[in-house]
Amino acid sequence: MEKLRLGVLDLAPVLNGYEVEDAIQETVRLAQMAEEWGYEWYWAAEHHDLEGLACPSPEILLAHIGARTSSIRLGSGALLLPHYSPMKVAESFHLLSCLYPGRIDLGIGRAPGGPAHASMALSGNFLQHVAEVPASLRSLTELLTGEYRYEGEQVTARPMPKEPPKVWMLGTNTKSCGYAAEFGTGFVFGHFMSDQDGSDILKAYREQFKPGKLRASPETMVAVSVICAETDALAEALGRASKASLVRTLVGSPERILDRLREVQFTLSNDSFLIVSPLQDYNHRLNSYRLIAQGLFL
C-alpha cells in the first residue's frame, strides 16, 4: 500500500467570538503550521454571502498565504467556474504561478457557493452558466495551454508562467468526474459531502480519462472530514460539540484516524487526501491537524 499524502482543505471559518480579520489570520496560521508539519497542499474554498465563512476569493487569500509560506502547494478548492470568465481565471492563476513557481493548483467546481440571490448578484443566471461549463472548461484549457483564439485571433492569458497551475475538477458525482476525464484534469472526490463512498465515481474517472496537455494520466484526491484528538473519547466529545454532520466524518485518536484513512485508501485506491476540519475552536482545529500529521509523518 502506498504512503498517504495529505493536504488541508480550508473553508476559512469565522468562529464564534472572533472578528473576520482575526479569523483570516487563523487561516494563515493553519497554512503555515500545515507546511511545518509536512502537509503537501493547502487549498482554500470559495463561498459567497454565507455567514461564518470568510473566503469569497481564493486567489487573493492564496497570494497572501504564498508570501508567508515557502513550499506547500496552494490551491482553490474550489474556484467556482460558472461565475467567471475563463480568461480572468487563467490570468489570475497564471499570475499566482509566476509568483510561486511550481506551487499552484487550480481546483474547479460547479456549485453556486452561496444563496440564490448572492449568485445572481455575482454573475446573473447561474443555471445558464452551469450549462455552459463544458464550453468554459474548453476555453480555460486552451488559455492555460496557449491555444485559445477569439474570432480567429490568438488571445494569451498573460503572464505565461514557466510552470502553469495543475488543474483539478472537484465534485461528488459522475457529471464532475466526467468533465475531469474529458478535459484531462485531476479529480477530487468530495467524500465528506457525499452519501456515496466514491468507488464507482473514481473508477469511472480513471477508465474514461483522456490524456492531454494538462495531464498525461489520471490523478485523484479525496476530501475527507476529520476530527482528531489525543484519545478516541476526547475526539468523540469534540465531534458532538461541533455543528457539522458527523455521518461522513472520521473521528478518533491519531491511530484510529490513520486506520480509517487506510480503509478509505484501500476502498478507493487513492493515496492523496485533503483534510477538512469541522471543529468550532481554532486551537482544537490546529491540534487535530497536528495529531494527524504526527501519526502519519513523525
pLDDT at 1: 65
User: Whole-prediction pTM value?
Assistant: 0.97
SS (H, E, C) 84-134: CCHHHHHHHHHHHHHHCCCCEEEEEECCCCCCHHHHHHHHCCHHHHHHCHH
Q: Rounded to whole angstroms, what are the CA distances from 64 to 7, 20, 35, 74, 133?
A: 18, 16, 15, 11, 29
Q: How far apart are CA 11 and CA 37, in angstroms?
A: 20
- Which residue positions in the chain have pLDDT lower than 50? none
Contact 30, 279 (CB under 8 A): no
- Contacts (Cβ under 8 Å, ≥6 apart) of 127: none
Instruction: Give the Cα separation of 33 and 36 in Å (integer).
Output: 5
Residue 85: its pLDDT value, please?
98
- Where along the chain do its domains lie? 5-297
The whole-number pLDDT of residue 212 equals 95
Q: What are phi and psi of 246, to 5 degrees?
A: -100, 10
Of 52, 48, 58, give the one whose Cα is nearest residue 14: 52
CA–CA separation, 220 vs 203, rounded Å? Answer: 10
- One CATH from 3.10.20.440, 3.40.1500.10, 3.90.420.10, 3.20.20.30 for 5-297: 3.20.20.30
Cell numbers for 156, please give them: 494569451
**In sequence order, what are the residues at sequence separation of 6 or more whose Cβ sits closer than 8 angstroms to the Cβ of residue 83?**
112, 113, 119, 122, 123, 126, 129
